Amino acid sequence: MLTLSKISFDLLNIMRGGVSSDDDLMSLRQIEYWIHNTRALLIQREFDKRRSISSNIVQDLGCIDVSKVDASVCCGVTVGCSVVRTDVKIPNPIETAQKDLITRVGSVSLTDRPYTFIPYQRAPYAGNGKYNGTELFAFLHDNYVYVMGKDSEKFKKINIQGVFEDPTEIKTFKTCSGALCYTNESEYPISAKHIEVLKEMILKTNFKLIVQAPTDVTGDAKSNPELMLNQR
């Protein structure tokens, strides 16, 4: 199983040229940040080419509590109209040219038809059509997911799935059994075909920005960044 830690250590080892160091300028956290950003870019490119989303990269946030709240966008001001909203904010989904990559908002039953996910700008007009008056709609605003439509106020929980910019941010969400949706031991949500491409992109872009900085690759506090590149 390929975890984030394994990908990060592999990249760090390549950058070191296979030589242990006690004076690295980069941290694993920095490498993980590069991994998240590069993964998001690869997925954006894939989706913008009209390719389908692999189930390998979709993450499930489990059953999320929702409540009826006032529709006002201003704190301390009410407008007397209520909407249903998640009790917690969700992580940023990857943004593509067409939409945010929220792949499912629906009831906690996976066999039920999911709600229609729409852009926030379309929310005032949702359900006003001749044939969609009974349809349920969902939209994302300020990282909250809102649900609107007939009987939406009866819901206590909903299920949300998507492709998120930082996959580790879902670690605060739990499954119905109480298990964390993501841990350090979880498989990193990336397609196998993107692994080597991701590594090459990081080495050719992010790593080159710091390769001229001194790094101890011999354990004697001396710097030799060219050695790391030549050993690649």
Q: What is the pLDDT along the chain (232 residues), one digit of tens a residue?
A: 899 999 999 998 888 775 555 555 568 899 999 999 999 999 999 998 888 888 899 999 999 999 998 877 777 667 767 889 999 999 999 998 888 999 999 998 888 999 999 999 988 887 666 556 568 999 999 999 999 888 888 889 999 999 999 999 999 998 877 889 999 999 999 999 999 999 999 999 888 766 555 554 445 544 454 444 444 4
Its pTM stands at: 0.82
Instruction: Give dist(CA 71, CA 79) in Å, integer.
Output: 7
